[in-house]
A and B are shown apart, each in its own frame.
Chain A
Amino acid sequence: MAEDLPKAEEFLTNIDHKVPDTAWMDTPTEIRKGMYCYASNPKSVETLGLPNARKWSATDDDWQLPENWQEIIHNGFKERLERFRSLKVFMDICVRCGACADKCHFYIGTGDPKNMPVLRAELLRSVYRNDFTKIGKLLGRAAGARKMTLDVLKEWWYYLFQCSECRRCSVFCPYGIDTAEITIMGRELLNLIGLNIDWIATPVANCFRTGNHLGIQPHAFKDMLDFFVEDIEEVTGVQLEPSFNRKGADILFITPSGDVFADPGTYTCMGYMMLFHYLKEKYGFDITWSTYASEGGNFGFFTSHETMKRLNAKMYAEAKRLGVKWILGGECGHMWRVINQYMDTMNGPADFLEEPVSPITGTKFENAKSTKMVHIAEFTADLIKHNKLELDPRRNDHLKITYHDSCNPARGMGLLDEPRYVIKKVAKHFYEMPANTIREQTFCCGSGAGLNAGENMELRMAGGLPRANAVRSVHEKHGVNMLACVCAIDRAALPPLMEYWVPEVDVTGLHELVANALIMPGENDRTTDLRGEDLPETEDDADE
């Protein structure tokens, strides 16, 4: 910040701080502290066998690029234009109507014009025109074309890591141009010359080797779940026995490791465990966890299609090895975008699995008959609908809940009503945020697509402002004190966001709410919720 301090004479001449209006191509990019993530650790880049592993920093003048980096980018661009019609069409057809401009949470929050989706895409388009179109070659800048220079590259890097691939702009675009797609390609190109960020590269490297982003080894993974068993016993008096890597189980369960290792996701994780135990006791439900496929999330998705595929491959591989019938997936955002739109294509066909059927209700999950993976919100909603769960929603009475649609399940899948149905069945006080901030118009948490690092906290707070602002409105209007979500990144990113903007509101996953309401067979009278906080009016409950 200090380096941004204006000089004394600037105060005098420019006291109103009016910003000069230069054309965007003439506005140099200033890499600002708090807005970018640290460059990746060379060790992680090496582990993955990605190019140009070295120690570097975005604030260095010299980014230590390979000598022919322009050629690498050009060829990479060309290859991707052939491989992805989306990229080719999106490069050509934008008419710059401006409909997307103010739909981006980063634009709204940061006030930086280059965060308008259209301009973010123009960063690539300008180079595309120069390299691949006749008219761009002929007319140059007049046709909106420009050469790839180091400055342009830095601009790419800076702004492609200020996009959380949330697809909100794509909803409003008359041609469906999806900035996420453009960011994905742009990041892929940057990865070709070693311009990664550590918050993505290191989890990816961890995940590759140990099975999860946090690099938790198998025994520690088990330890953690064993610890939850103790915790759950303390709250409910019920002893659980989760099983791991068990061959012949009916179903394999995969959830983001954030649920296992980071609060408040851990409570959601306990929620899954309690649900599974309940179902096992009542209906003989048979499910196993895996320490090998112990990551539902996929930061490879934020690196390149290839890396995404490399990490995702574990899900089917493990399901095959264990011989399960189908896979149940936990609450996660981009994990579900990958499963819903990529997994079967990349790593399928999953012909060694069966079409998923709920062993309890007999419901066939027709919508998952090829991929053979069911979302736990779909699974639980079905259970509740068939009255298979004994619930006491009063235990959630102290909560006034609102629901944050995570970008990926909303705009890359359409999982909107299942979680709402579940919440309304396990809790009594539910309030929606304003219509233009939920469902397909939901605002991102500001930290998606691998941007939930610590060093870019300002960016995250600014990007999350539209979401927080909507939460504040229901907090003020209805006294909302709990923000529910079905995404592990949300559970990691929303707590600090709330702490900064609406400190009265806490964050929960869906299945924490379910577990608090779920009446376990043989349980004690519960006096606290999973967080160890006193339940409301427990005395009244005892009277009844």
Chain B
Amino acid sequence: MKLSKLLTQHKTDIVKKWFDNAVQSYKMDVAKFLKTQSDQFANPVGGAFSQNLEPLFNELCGQMNAEVLTASVDPIVRIRAVQSFAPSQAVAFIFSLKRIIRTILKKELHSDNLLRELYEFDLKIDVLGLIAFDAFMVCREKIYDLKANEMRNRTLHAFERAKLVKNTSIYNIHAQGAQQITNREEVLSKNK
């Protein structure tokens, strides 16, 4: 019980450090912008971190409700999934919480009891890490899905409706760039 009290006591400090640490994964000038631009519309990335880290921390200290965790981790991971981060980098900010807690509670963390509780808390962070990784993969799959199907959904759907294209199954293949356009052209002319 003691650890949870300590964590609540130091919540502001921990969440702030957590936020600072998370934005350090960007270049320094970007990190500063993410930290200081307080208008969430001018700064959606910083906004996603600052709005969601605290609920995440609360949940880690509380019920560990998977839905709440997913809902709060998703906006952050969704952004990192399109920012050229390696998967490890994209979710690393979650695990950095372990080190931050150890640094902030350095003085307090001496008794065996507390360390045992800390071990339990670490496991919760691991769970959050796994949730984040799942969320990351969902986002990446969505990206690939969009890549593969955008053309089909938008253009070919229109063609299909107009019955200008007879068989569109070939478009389910993940076509690429130039090839895709050429194919499209060819099919259209063939169908005439």
Residues of chain A having any CB pair with chain B under 8 Å = 1, 4-6, 11, 15-19, 21, 32, 34-35, 37-38, 40-41, 101-102, 107-113, 116, 198-199, 202, 206, 214-217, 219-220, 223-224, 227-228, 231, 261-263, 266, 434, 436-437, 453-455, 457-459, 461-462, 465-466, 469-470, 473, 492, 495-496, 499-501
Contacts of A113 in B (CB 8 A): 27, 29-30
Further 7 A-B residue pairs, CB within 8 A, beyond A217-B189, A231-B161, A263-B155: A6-B86, A18-B24, A32-B84, A34-B84, A261-B158, A457-B82, A458-B81
B84/A35 in contact, CB under 8 A: yes
B67 beta carbon closer than 8 Å to chain A: no
Measured CA separation A462–B139 after assembly (Å):
12
Select which of A1, A465, A501 is within 8 A of B87 by beta carbon. Answer: A1
Q: For the complex formed, measure the closest distance between the CB of B127 and the CB atoms of chain A, giving whole angstroms.
A: 19
Measured CA separation A18–B20 after assembly (Å):
11
B16 beta carbon closer than 8 Å to chain A: no
**Chain B residue with Cβ nearest A455:** B177
Residues of chain B having any CB pair with chain A under 8 Å = 21, 24-30, 33-34, 37, 39-45, 47, 78-79, 81-89, 92, 95-96, 99, 139-140, 142-143, 146-148, 150-151, 153-155, 157-159, 161-164, 176-178, 180-182, 184-185, 188-189, 192
A5/B88 in contact, CB under 8 A: yes
**Chain B residue with Cβ nearest A22:** B27
Measured CA separation A21–B31 after assembly (Å):
11
CB within 8 Å for A263 and B83 given contacts A102-B37, A108-B45, A227-B161: no
CB within 8 Å for A102 and B150 given contacts A199-B177, A465-B79: no
CB within 8 Å for A465 and B44 given contacts A40-B178, A110-B84, A217-B189: yes
B177/A224 in contact, CB under 8 A: no
Measured CA separation A262–B189 after assembly (Å):
17
Measured CA separation A18–B42 after assembly (Å):
23
B41/A469 in contact, CB under 8 A: yes
Contacts of A470 in B (CB 8 A): 41
Measured CA separation A355–B161 after assembly (Å):
39
A206/B185 in contact, CB under 8 A: yes
Contacts of A37 in B (CB 8 A): 177
Contacts of B96 in A (CB 8 A): 15-16
Contacts of B37 in A (CB 8 A): 102
Q: For the complex formed, measure the closest distance between the CB of A539 and the CB atoms of chain B, giving whole angstroms.
A: 28
Measured CA separation A478–B159 after assembly (Å):
35
Measured CA separation A206–B150 after assembly (Å):
20
Q: For the complex formed, measure the closest distance between the CB of B157 and the CB atoms of chain A, giving whole angstroms.
A: 5
Select which of B86, B154, B177, B178 is within 8 A of A4 by beta carbon. Answer: B86
A500/B142 in contact, CB under 8 A: yes
Contacts of B177 in A (CB 8 A): 37-38, 198-199, 453-455
Contacts of A457 in B (CB 8 A): 82, 143, 146-147, 150
B155/A261 in contact, CB under 8 A: yes
Measured CA separation A499–B78 after assembly (Å):
12
Contacts of B33 in A (CB 8 A): 101-102
A198/B147 in contact, CB under 8 A: no
**Chain A residue with Cβ nearest B188:** A220
CB within 8 Å for A19 and B25 given contacts A219-B192, A500-B142: yes
Most buried by A among B42, B88, B140, B180: B42
Select which of A110, A473, A499 is within 8 A of B142 by beta carbon. Answer: A499
A17/B154 in contact, CB under 8 A: no
Measured CA separation A199–B44 after assembly (Å):
28
Measured CA separation A202–B185 after assembly (Å):
11
Contacts of A199 in B (CB 8 A): 177
**Chain A residue with Cβ nearest B24:** A18
Q: For the complex formed, measure the closest distance between the CB of B181 and the CB atoms of chain A, giving whole angstroms.
A: 5
**Chain B residue with Cβ nearest A453:** B177
B88/A111 in contact, CB under 8 A: no
A262/B158 in contact, CB under 8 A: yes
Contacts of B89 in A (CB 8 A): 6, 17
